A and B are shown apart, each in its own frame.
Chain A
């Protein structure tokens, strides 16, 4: 799951897949602004057929937190 999630992050942010790691976040990926974040959330929901609530959407601001949030909604 982690690998799939990172691929989605890489595709949406248009960065090389192998450059995404646990620490990837808006702090070190320049393109990761609020609009790209929205696109990322929507793409993750589509990829894993899940829905996040408002709070989760606002919280998942790093690759590590994305994976953690996916676990919260029972994606393994």
Chain B
């Protein structure tokens, strides 16, 4: 876990930051305990991701009343995050502290009562807001009621608490946009003896130390970041003294430290962690001041390399400055600089990057203690996503294919023959049970080619898909370099003779090959087939989507002068005439009617 500043310093940071210009993050806390000390940490992490958090607390131990009775000021359409803290002491004193007095059926009754109670609360929250719910699980007891026997038997206190957690984890998994935060993980970081402040537990029912709320807020941020599209996508690695010990240009392939035994084992384990992240969908890139051939020789011939060439989507191995190289990496991969984490052992390079590219998360690797490397990476939490889809798992390979396409493009000058050489096959289909999770994820993650930047949950998409007055279509792309999966989403709403593009977005890695044009034409065709006479496209400006400001205009839409509520620009397309032909360089374009 990376360390956060101390409480006083954090207060100073959140007090002094002019955050009026940042987008709001409305956080509501429902709790059966006092956790007010978490507020500056929540605001601190929000600031780190470019949000101004406003934290509101429900009344102490009023969760049930607020969830079931309603608290419109705490839970409404503007709420982004609901944090729920339910201490076992308040849920069931007997399970928490008087366990040995319970008979087995008494334990069972209490478990059932507590889980029912929590389910009622969760559904009460869901009726009031569709905001992300982060539910803090129960901590397992530090001093199990039956002593060492508790770990041997099936009906001990540990088993009871774990059962409630397991049950609730599955209830949350079945609830859209609701997540289980494992408090035992937070407590493990801090240690049980440093997690609880018994003075304030007794004085004011505030159980946690500052170290505890620090760890809890850090864990919360791992959920909030992907919810807000602020999780990182690509890990950029230096080579010398980062992925191996020593300097390849000086020490040679037999002299660098990289092995299953000490001292090379630090780097071996670090590489293993990098590959584990890659398997989870993190894109990998190299940025190293070296002779390129030296680096690849290690990749090809060192027996203890865990990383291999196929893991690396793109590499900048040269003697230019690293800020320029990082810019190039972002360009190659078609992702923003704010999607990069950069790891390097040189404070010169790290400071240069921090100064010139503040959007990049630059991590200084302590080269004198490489034993810490693996934990620095595993504990960062920068790359966490809320779900792992099939696309995530092969994303690294897809970005590598994108970088290969760029190389081919550099060789092919005529664009049409370049496009044709890609052998692109497009499939457009209506949303179904299989594609809905990916579609929702795309609306949450896509920032650049996104006309309206509306974030939708799986439930929202399912609703649009089921409603006869709206349609959700998605686009999948395959070419000779690989299958990109679902890369485009469009939500259409029909009102009389008019079709409104509620959402239109494409993954940036497929841009620049007229895929967007095919997708738009197909959407217009659907509207036309329904008998619409006009299609309306809107542009909502964000910090990141300026590239699509003129998209509709460039595709033959006419800009409407009236600036309607909300949208920065509105465009109309007359559907009474014939639509233009599809581009002819695709190998196939299929629209599946189902």
Contact = CB atoms under 8 A, between A and B. Distances in A.
B8 A11 contact: yes
Nearest to A37: B204
Given A35-B34, A38-B206, A14 B7 contact: no
Contacts of A34: 204
B193 interface: no
Contacts of B6: 43, 46-47
Given A14-B15, A39-B37, A43-B210, A7 B200 contact: no
Contacts of A11: 8-9, 11-12, 15
Interface in A1-22: 7-8, 11-12, 14
B36 interface: yes
Contact of A42 (B12, B15, B197): B197
Contact of B11 (A14, A57, A58): A14
User: B7, B36, B197, B210 — which one has the most chain A CB atoms within 10 A of its CB?
Assistant: B7
Interface in A34-54: 34-35, 38-39, 42-43, 46-47, 53-54
Contacts of B7: 12, 39, 42-43, 46-47
A35 B199 CA distance: 14
Interface string B407-445: 000000000000000000000000000000000000000
Given A11-B8, A43-B210, A54 B203 contact: yes
A54 B36 CA distance: 19
Contacts of B11: 11-12, 14, 43
Contacts of B12: 7, 11
Interface in B1-49: 6-9, 11-12, 15, 34, 36-37
B209 interface: yes
B41 to A, nearest CB: 11
Contacts of B202: 54
A57 B199 contact: yes
A8 B7 CA distance: 9
A46 B202 CA distance: 20
Interface in B32-81: 34, 36-37
Contacts of A39: 7, 36-37
A43 B199 contact: no
User: A8, A11, A35, A46 — which one has the most chain B CB atoms within 10 A of its CB?
Assistant: A11
Nearest to B11: A11
B8 A43 contact: yes
Nearest to B9: A11
A38 B36 CA distance: 9
A40 to B, nearest CB: 9
A54 B204 CA distance: 12
A53 B202 CA distance: 12
Contacts of B197: 42
Nearest to A47: B8
Contact of B8 (A35, A38, A46, A57): A46
B37 A42 contact: yes
A58 B204 CA distance: 12
B209 A42 contact: yes
A32 to B, nearest CB: 14
Nearest to A42: B210
Contacts of B200: 38, 42
A7 B6 CA distance: 13
Nearest to B214: A46
Contacts of A7: 8, 12
A19 B197 CA distance: 30
Given A11-B11, A42-B7, 13 more contacts: A7-B8, A11-B8, A11-B15, A34-B204, A38-B37, A42-B200, A42-B209, A46-B8, A53-B199, A54-B202, A54-B203, A57-B203, A58-B203
Q: Closest 6 interchain pairs by CB?
A: A11-B11, A43-B7, A8-B8, A11-B12, A11-B8, A35-B36
18 contacts: A8-B8, A14-B15, A35-B34, A35-B204, A38-B34, A38-B200, A38-B203, A38-B204, A38-B206, A39-B36, A43-B6, A43-B8, A43-B210, A46-B7, A46-B8, A46-B210, A54-B199, A58-B203
Interface of A: 7-8, 11-12, 14, 34-35, 38-39, 42-43, 46-47, 53-54, 57-58
